[in-house]
């Protein structure tokens, strides 16, 4: 694969947008190292007219015609979404790019994805249709909230979806901890408190060779949840096996949590309230420890207080928290403001994006 990309390096133009530039650069550094190429970011000159309209421009428009354009973006607000729109439209419709691929390290509108909620605008659907109208041909995302709906809407719009998952990265990160626990004779399990989390936790459990304890949750109010006391274990397990296969290492027996060291996984951490509430359920069932892993650090205001990360260890809902690096922690915060002095552990997600991007570039090369 690497020699193929080396032979076609001049067919690509890459842009790394401003909002999470260090992460974008890290992905491209990994791509260059693995593929043996030396692609650098084309420059975007950000500017505004006196009336507030965007006046940004591309320094090298003459280099785009007939090329495959790759655009990195982390659109966490309206301003960044509009910058993405301008850049895609300009490359595709004004400067004649052969194709436009967007590497969206964090998906906007990811949770506004359910068409059955008629009172709620299905913004994810229209956002993906909008990407196609702007000129996007390929979209790389990581650990989407609802893969099924995201894929459906991309298919409708005519955008080719490429999904990367950080499961192996997380498993590798906790490998030493798990080995230590098992050496001491401890039991390690994954915990999926609702049906939507099973696929993510199951993939992780398979990586670390353990089982998943799955239960359906009921939301009492806000972030407070409880296990549905009326759920039928046999019926729920049959539903799980119908979706994930009879051989899936899953049980609905909550007694498996007793004395176990529990790992919870989610696509994102926002307020932290639901995660903390679920941790309390695991501890009530007798868990010896609870660790939480999330790909996207949304980190809404107050999240550090909810997770009580500055309290003594025994007062925190989690023994360890691991967060990915797909976006800045919080909105309009500096990297330092989002940091915790190491109380929340950082897991670099650049390798999984690099792997998926190399595959896509190898497919586009020569076309």
Q: Where are the domains of the chain?
A: 2-165+351-364, 167-348
| Whole-number Å distance between alpha carbons of 76 and 70 | 19
Query: Is the CB of residue 360 less than 8 Å from the CB of residue 162?
Result: yes
| Whole-number Å distance between alpha carbons of 105 and 350 | 9
Stretch 56-68: mean pLDDT: 95
CB burial class (10 A; 0-12, 13-18, 19+) of residue 237? middle
CA distances to 27, 80, 104, 135, 295 from 126, rounded to whole Å, are 28, 17, 16, 14, 24
The more confident residue out of 346 and 335 is: 346
> What is the reported pLDDT for 217?
77
Q: Which fold has domain 167-348?
A: Rossmann fold (3.40.50)
| 224 pLDDT higher than 80 | no
CA distances to 253, 279, 289, 358 from 285, rounded to whole Å, are 11, 10, 11, 44
Query: Is the CB of residue 84 less than 8 Å from the CB of residue 17?
Result: yes
DSSP H or E stretch at residue 139: strand 138-142
> What is the reported pLDDT for 19?
81
Q: How far separated are the first and last CA of the chain, in Å rounded?
A: 15
| Whole-number Å distance between alpha carbons of 295 and 144 | 10
| Tokens (6 digits) for 327 | 């976006």
Q: What is the pTM of this model?
A: 0.95
> What is the reported pLDDT for 222?
66
> What is the reported pLDDT for 3?
46
| Tokens (6 digits) for 238 | 């049959």
Beta strands 99-104 and 68-73 are parallel
| Whole-number Å distance between alpha carbons of 289 and 186 | 11
Query: Is the CB of residue 67 less than 8 Å from the CB of residue 13?
Result: yes
pLDDT band at 231 (very low <50, low <70, confident <90, very high): confident
Instruction: Enumerate residues 6+ apart whose C-beta is below 8 A from 42.
Output: 13, 14, 15, 58, 59, 60, 63
| Tokens (6 digits) for 44 | 């975007």
> What is the reported pLDDT for 223?
67
How many helices (H) and strands (E) the chain has is answered by 13, 16
> What is the reported pLDDT for 367?
87
CATH of span 2-165+351-364? 3.40.50.2020
List pLDDT tens digits, range 250-296.
Answer: 999 999 999 999 999 999 999 999 999 999 999 999 999 999 999 99
List pLDDT tens digits, range 9-26.
Answer: 999 999 998 889 999 999
DSSP H or E stretch at residue 21: helix 21-35
List pLDDT tens digits, range 131-185.
Answer: 999 999 999 999 999 999 999 999 999 999 999 999 999 999 999 999 999 999 9
Q: Does this chain's domain 2-165+351-364 share its CATH topology with 167-348?
A: yes
| Tokens (6 digits) for 281 | 């359920």
Query: Is the CB of residue 232 less than 8 Å from the CB of residue 252?
Result: no
Query: Is the CB of residue 165 less than 8 Å from the CB of residue 355?
Result: no
DSSP H or E stretch at residue 225: strand 224-227
């Amino acid at each position: 694969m690497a020699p193929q990309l080396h032979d076609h390096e001049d067919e690509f133009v890459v842009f790394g947008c401003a909002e999470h530039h260090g992460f974008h650069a890290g992905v491209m550094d990994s791509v260059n190292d693995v593929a043996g190429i030396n692609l650098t970011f084309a420059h975007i000159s950000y500017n505004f007219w006196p009336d507030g309209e965007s006046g940004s421009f591309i320094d090298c428009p003459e280099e785009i015609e007939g090329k495959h354009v790759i655009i990195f973006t982390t659109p966490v607000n309206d301003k960044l979404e509009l910058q993405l729109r301008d850049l895609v439209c300009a490359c595709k419709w004004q400067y004649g790019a052969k194709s436009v691929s967007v590497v969206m390290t964090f998906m906007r509108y990811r949770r506004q994805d359910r068409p059955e909620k008629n009172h709620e605008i299905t913004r994810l659907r229209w956002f993906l249709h909008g990407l196609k109208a702007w000129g996007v041909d390929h979209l790389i995302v990581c650990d989407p909230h609802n893969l099924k709906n995201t894929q459906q809407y991309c298919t409708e719009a005519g955008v080719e979806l490429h999904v990367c998952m950080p499961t192996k990265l997380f498993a590798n990160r906790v490998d030493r901890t798990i080995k230590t626990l098992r050496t001491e004779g401890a039991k390690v399990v994954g915990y999926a408190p609702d049906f939507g989390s099973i696929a993510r936790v199951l993939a992780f459990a398979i990586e670390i060779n353990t089982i998943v304890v799955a239960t359906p949750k009921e939301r009492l109010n806000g972030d407070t949840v409880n296990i549905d006391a009326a759920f039928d274990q046999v019926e729920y397990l049959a539903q799980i096996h119908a979706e994930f296969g009879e051989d899936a290492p899953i049980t609905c027996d909550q007694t498996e949590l007793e004395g176990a060291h529990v790992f919870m996984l989610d696509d994102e951490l926002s307020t932290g309230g639901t995660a903390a509430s679920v941790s309390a359920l695991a501890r009530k069932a007798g868990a010896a420890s609870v660790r939480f892993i999330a790909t996207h650090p949304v980190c809404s205001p107050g999240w550090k207080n909810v997770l009580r990360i500055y309290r003594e260890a025994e007062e925190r809902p989690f023994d360890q928290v691991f967060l990915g690096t797909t976006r800045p922690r919080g909105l309009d915060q500096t990297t330092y403001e989002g940091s915790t002095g190491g109380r929340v552990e950082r897991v670099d997600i650049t390798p999984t994006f690099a792997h998926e991007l190399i595959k896509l570039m190898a497919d586009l090369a020569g076309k």
